[in-house]
A and B are shown apart, each in its own frame.
Chain A
Amino acid sequence: MESSKVIHAFYNDDEVLMDAVKAVKAEHLHIEEVFCPFPVHGLDKAMGLAPTRLAITAFFYGITGLSFAIWMTNYMMIQDWPQDIGGKPNFSWWANMPAFVPIMFELTVFFAAHLMVITFYMRSRLWPFKDAENPDPRTTDDHFLMEIPVDNNEAKIIALLTNTGAVEINVVDKH
């Protein structure tokens, strides 16, 4: 953003916020960000955000975990040291497959879950010593904030937002 100026519009109800988002989108204005204290159902659709692909990554992580489990059980129990342990058949991986299913299942879930969570942290830029990004502490408690970049149309945006039931409208410099 060249202008480096943004408008912060505050709302104190998620229904009002949803209507405001729709009104702003109807004017073809760009919404930079919306800050909410809790998930608002349908907000992503109203803002026109692309659906997440996190589930797709999880599927491939799961396949990775399954492959790892098959490789590990085959290498350890069949290839490396095929001991007779309690009469279990270790002539081939298939012959002893049922005994490996619990670890195959658990590693599939383990890889899918943990790698997906790490992916989520990386994609949403979350880590322990990260500086918080909320522009106003009230947005974590009981206020909703919509951020719209200004591009020589400050008066028009303020007029529009006033009509949408905003409880406070601030023009601030974005650093």
Chain B
Amino acid sequence: MYQFSGKLKTFSLALILVGLVGIGYGFYSAPKTVEEAKEVIAQQASHGDSHATSHEEVSVDGHKEESHGENHASVDADHSDAHAEHVLHQLKNKPWSAIYVALFFFLGTTLLVLAFYAIQRVAQAGWSILLFRVMEAITANLVPTSIVMVIIVASAVMHWNHMFPWMAEGVFDPTSPNYDPIVDGKSWWINVPGWAIRSIAYLAIWNAYRWFIRKNSIKEDTANDGGKTYKLSYNASVGFIFLFMITETMMSWDWIMGLDPHWFSTLFGWYVLSSLLVSALTVIALVTIYLRSKGALPGVNDSHIHDLAKYMFGFSIFWTYLWFSQFMLIWYADIPEETTYFAMRFNEYNFPFLAMVVMNFVFPVLLLLNSDFKSVPWFIVIGGVAILFGHYIDIFVMVMPGTVGAQWAFGIPEISAILFFLGVFIYATFSSFAKAGSVPIGNPFLEESKHYHYYNIEHRGEGSGDHH
């Protein structure tokens, strides 16, 4: 049985604490009045920031402040006030968005670990049984991240933040200056009660399956009932995958695409899925490598690592395929109502937008193409860190343009949010891993997993007798 070391516990708690302080600082330093926002604008102008030329794109980008664009030519003073107010909203959104990006990244990654685990059960995979407890432990992070998500959902409903432009006052009201007929046409789907209920429903479904499957998996160890418990887990996983595919797609509309309510894309749900899936596989690989190096995973050999690396490699390419399909279709047809989405990202987020393609595609392909490299732990760690950071940027570029627009930065609030959720992740994962045996001894495929061997690689530190 694994022991959650005091050192690691202290480390995770320190991360949480540092993260909390930084998040607090983010909220404290955000401007509260239009005057403060004007100061920020003046500062940016004196620094020669390109912002002045870019705010028009921001306005077209699905924000409710479209009216600014219309009257700015006529009344200059009005425009500067309206502009300052617009920037104020974006700056106020910054600390919220910083939390939201990190939260979505960790919540989604954890969720996809759960989905991958359900797939392993339904596919009756023979290789991954020894990794079941690792995956289960990682999914423990679903509980705290879901709680934070509920808080974020509640704060959006209470209008404490302005991340979702369609939630602003008067958007659905024809008599209001804020009225937005395009968004109003979608109000049958994006309305506050429906959005809140759906959000809670997604989280409830995911957490219910996680709670059940973890309990049942531990029960399998001692059940000895002719596979009854195992079959129940199987059936629950089939049901979960069905519900997961529906909730995941709708979740990506509600939580991410809703940030740009003027824009839509049909493959968006898959795109978010692929980004989170490759992160999930990387997280499984990294936690497995760590636990194996601590001697906590008897039986896990280089072939298991090799398989995880193959998944990381394959799904990195899958992500690129979807990313490019979405981008190229919109770039090619160049319909203005769709193109603004990428015009914004190219103009204001050029570096992260292109850097993430290198980190999520070029780097993993070159690093993990060679079969021998896929079982070398430090290679996977280097590739894995690049993949994880690349997909954080991916979420960042999905969220930030809609919430903070050109006012984005990667500073204390963003880093603190990452550290906070990383600390939560480490604490939840390893304390959960310590609560059950590290080998699921009741699983009928366990022997197969123990003798899993991919023919093409030489195992290090194992005799040739292990091979056959």
Contact = CB atoms under 8 A, between A and B. Distances in A.
Nearest to A87: B334
Interface in A63-109: 87, 98-99, 101
B467 A42 contact: yes
A101 B328 contact: yes
B212 interface: no
Interface in B305-331: 324, 327-328, 331
A42 B468 contact: yes
B327 A98 contact: yes
B371 interface: yes
A98 B371 contact: no
A110 interface: no
Contacts of A41: 455
B332 A98 contact: yes
The list of the 10 closest CB pairs from A to B, nearest first, reads A98-B328, A98-B331, A41-B455, A101-B324, A99-B332, A101-B328, A42-B468, A98-B327, A98-B332, A42-B455
11 contacts: A41-B455, A42-B455, A42-B467, A42-B468, A45-B467, A59-B369, A98-B324, A98-B331, A99-B332, A101-B324, A101-B328
B358 to A, nearest CB: 15
A59 B332 CA distance: 30
A45 B459 CA distance: 13
Contacts of B331: 98
Given A98-B331, A101-B328, 15 more contacts: A41-B455, A42-B455, A42-B467, A42-B468, A45-B467, A55-B371, A59-B369, A87-B334, A98-B324, A98-B327, A98-B328, A98-B332, A99-B328, A99-B332, A101-B324
Q: How large is the interface on A (under 10, 10 to 19, 20 to 34, 35 or more residues)?
A: under 10
Interface of A: 41-42, 45, 55, 59, 87, 98-99, 101
Contacts of B334: 87
Contacts of A55: 371
Contacts of B455: 41-42
A98 B333 CA distance: 12
Interface of B: 324, 327-328, 331-332, 334, 369, 371, 455, 467-468
Contacts of A59: 369
Nearest to B371: A55
**Interface of chain A: mostly helix, strand, loop or mixed:** helix
B374 to A, nearest CB: 13
A45 B327 CA distance: 46
A98 B455 CA distance: 39
Contacts of A98: 324, 327-328, 331-332
A58 B226 CA distance: 49
A38 to B, nearest CB: 15
Contacts of B468: 42
A13 to B, nearest CB: 15
B325 to A, nearest CB: 10
B341 to A, nearest CB: 15
Nearest to A88: B332
Contacts of B324: 98, 101
A51 to B, nearest CB: 8
B446 to A, nearest CB: 22
Contacts of B328: 98-99, 101
A55 B331 CA distance: 35
A87 B332 CA distance: 10
Contacts of A99: 328, 332
B318 to A, nearest CB: 14
A13 B369 CA distance: 36
Contacts of A45: 467
A45 B334 CA distance: 55
Nearest to A55: B371
B348 to A, nearest CB: 20
Contacts of A42: 455, 467-468
Contacts of B327: 98
A101 B467 CA distance: 42
B375 to A, nearest CB: 15
Contacts of A87: 334
A42 B467 CA distance: 9
A41 B468 CA distance: 9
A55 B373 CA distance: 14
A160 B345 CA distance: 73
Nearest to A41: B455
Nearest to B324: A101
A77 to B, nearest CB: 14
Contacts of A101: 324, 328
Nearest to B327: A98
B324 to A, nearest CB: 7
**Which of A41, A45, A87, A98 has most B Cβ within 10 Å?**
A98
Nearest to A56: B370
